[in-house]
Structure 1
Amino acid sequence: MRTFIDAVNQIKSELNIVEDTTNQANNWAKITVQILNENVNILVLKSTVTGTDRAKPQIRVFTEKILQEVNESLNNNERFFCFVHCSHDETTLKFNHIKPSDYIVSLESDWSSAGGRIDIRSVYDFLEEHPEVHFKKLNKTEHSTKSILQAAIFKNTDNGFEYFEPYISFFDSRLISRDETVPDDLADEVTEQVEQATLTNYGINKIYFGAPGTGKSFSIQKFIRENGIPNFDEKKGHPNVFRTTLHPEFSYYDFVGQVMPVVTPISEGSIETKIEYGFVPTIFTKALERAFLDGVKDHQPVFLILEEMSRANVAAVFGDLFQLLDRDVVTGESEYRINNDLISNYVFKEDRQIFIPKNLFIIGTVNTNDQNVFVMDTAFKRRFEFEYVNANTIVYDESGQPLNNFSFTLKDKDNEITLNWATLYRSLNTFITKKEENGGLGLKEDKQLGQFFIKFREADAEYNFNQIKGKLLQYLYEDIETVSYSSTSLFKSDISSFGETYIKISAYQNIFSNEFLNTYQIIETNDLMEGK
């Protein structure tokens, strides 16, 4: 059986710490460590047991010491962790499948609302039912201790506590401790949040551009995976990935930050407050700060993702940072430095010139049909690499089937016409750009659409068809048909209005012209010949 001191020593070993503060009774220990240039306070408690005559003895934790340490950490804006070790044997606690002393449990809560003592038996009951678990983050539905919002379980194995170091390095319980809303998915596997990253290439500025729905964001996910975060998932995010969407009102201050009123305590520990003015950073400054952190600076990539760049005045958004976009082709760093006191004092805690480091990637997207909202000047564009995302490229799943596909059937007199989305969107693209003299609409590529222009649901034909008759039809009629001056039409000749088109397709009647259907049949035949 592992003792409380064994658990404390194992934590110290994993964090490369020699000293700690342990009280004489050996029922708590406090460890302070610097991680990524930030103080992290770790309180380790020894649990007590009561009711050994019961079928399920209580495993109790007293909260007085927790409250003392968490309040001090919050006042200093430092991260805080509370771990519990249960040193009692499994026989006393009436467990058949686990040894509680093999585990440490991290408790995450708004401690101000917790009672003086709490019973965390339910956390160990979960382990009793799942003895194969080496690491698990429990949400509120997986245990019954009301005052504990989340709990993380770590088993001591031959390799130490599973996932302990990344959990300590990246998880931040301050949102919970301050009683702010924490989404349930934060309680998923810690590896989803804190996946390690490795710097493999020097940073660049890059823009993916193409028609709407071509998978530009998908290309960014692939780029991130290929440049240091191999299992990056858009839905789960990563501490090293910062993302924002630009819009016509997006400004330099939205990008960098600005001086704003901040409420602070009059003195340390005081409940009385005062209003001061301080710099509140936004996404560029936060990404830059992350890129310069110890442990990240020379070892991990950081990605700043700017979606829909052409929808804002990017020259105004970047302002003086424009000078930093010139990068040394060998080192990846900015060729020039600039003075910006607000950013430098926040990032470096001193007044010094700022620059984009080698590990910070700036990646943007541009929809070609939005490129005239705000025109990027040549000087700005030449500081980025541009990669065109072809609207006619099909993305397949692992089994070789097109992703995001859907088939539907329309009636045309006594005939039925079955249309497949993977073929339909490419046929539309061909017909839209085909020259008038060749039987097309003669429009530019910025009117094309991609495979993900519509996002379908699996096995939900009603929803999917509603996307066709709503989103697709509106785009084809308002943005394609009405701007084309070709004698050829995308729609049947007897259709004269959007309302008429909508009524017909709602009744599953064919709305497309014979000229377009011929284009569709040619592409469908070519696909069959090529085995698509």
Structure 2
Amino acid sequence: MEQIYKSKMQAIGYDQNVCDIFVNWEDVKDELLIPERKRGSGNGTIHVFLGAADEELRKEFPQYYASVHNEIDATNGAIEIKHYFLSSNIISMLGYVCQYNHEHHYDIVPQVEEILDFITQSRATDGMLSTKSLFKLSTGATKLRPYFKQFESNGVFAKIIRKILLPNSAYKISLYKNNNNEYAAFWLIGFDNVSDFEADSNIEYLVSSDNIESACHQIIYYGAPGTGKSHKIKAQLEGVSKENIFRTTFHPDSDYSTFVGAYKPTMEKSIDKIYTKGELISKLTEMKEGGVTYSPQKFGAKYWRSLKQLNLSDKKDILQACGMSDNYTVEFDKGVAVGEEYLACSKESRIIYSFVPQAFLNAYIQAYRKPEEKVYLIIEEINRGNCAQVFGDLFQLLDRDAYGKSEYSIKADADLRAFLEETLGEDNIGIKDGELCLPSNLYIYATMNTSDQSLFPIDSAFKRRWDWEYEPIKYKNTDWKIAIDNTEYSWVSFQRKVNDKILSATSSEDKLLGDYFVNPSDGVITDKVLLNKILFYLWNDVCKDGEGEIFKISETEDVSFSELYGENGTEKLVKMMSYLGVTDSNDNIVTVKSDEDIIENQSE
């Protein structure tokens, strides 16, 4: 990066580097865009203190420093500075501002639009926007303090830079001059560490709602059954490596150990390592020099699997390398026979206890192993498990900062810490000092059927830590048919009629039929599927006490679910569809004309 901005400054004539200045957040006295902004000095002047480079600046401007020391007005002799900012760096920082404000629920759309308009209308030189200020000395303190002051009121600093600072923001400023002793400053804006200063023109953040969604690290997609919540997540993760997607489904027996991991009994097969010829020479030498009696035979028994892979010539080479007669290959073979006959059986397998990671921990480890890639943990049916029990103290990690990292870490228990230290390494930030912290590249998406919300109610504290997105019913499968007898009914017509009655009776959307409540491969819902899946659900979960007036064949006559299976069941099913006003595949209402089941199509 340093070489890039050096070449850019050389290209516009500033080829002499004066000094590099790092200005941290606390030294930036400026009015900011974010609500938690630091105020200026009160006079409305934009200024940036440069105390970190005071020594270098004294050497560069000795006469100016000396004159101000002699109590001459600091305005006399102030140096004009031209400032350059990479457009790509500004866009990158603007993305962080949008993300920060979205996470804190601040509306900054007008300000963002104003900034984007300014960038669009500004003239860039070699990908850089420029403005001017003065380099001055402040005489209001016990010692002189250098700073940039009086930036152009309509320049890029006044209109943009002062508005894209965030907590922990910082500048890296490189001051240059040319042969005419004219000065220019090249700026990079980033965060605490100089290593983080990168001008990334490829980062695109929130301005539209689509991009806002990409910044959400924890989302629960909720809605009626079959509205396509899981399908939406699948579509969003299209193109993501399967290695970076981890799935689990909550159920009433889900707990911390099935979500995170725990020690479990596992079967271990004791298969000896296969050693190379060189390694076997070392092993036999150790036994020989260690005074082991009958060492060739005992060696053959202990390393029988490896010796079985070798031919006679290799065995002789091993003996000769160890200073032994190659006649001892017979002893090797005796030992191999003993090992294969007795030792193999005793070591074939055994039950051991080992830590077995589950979905959360597997995703957590992957996120720290691949910090440059996004990793996703998908939780289906999140409210079918007791979230307080399943998450346990991980609940604390769900508080994320503006960049997606956990604001508060938690201490891992001894078992979990030992496993992570072995898996990631003791110095890995994912378990450093024995603490857990969700990284910014780990995303957690969940689904929830509103019809199941009474299983394990989610408390408000847990809810606040998630973004929520409602998935409505779209009535989009217009080509799906319900086949009864010789008539094809419109699925969307049936879906709308039933949902209208459910909504009218319950004033709730929890029990509505979603677009994918059923998912026929050929688009045809048979009468069997209609009865066993759709009507069974409506009878048991919606119409228990007669709500909805769905199971009727006329204004005065009800029909029970069992009657639809009995004698004349198909006849009653057709009358039920007629009473509901379901249209056929041609959008005509199907009516029952007589008791003899003469059905005619009548235009709606």
Q: Which has the higher helix share?
A: 2
Higher relative contact order (CA 8 A, sep 6+): 2
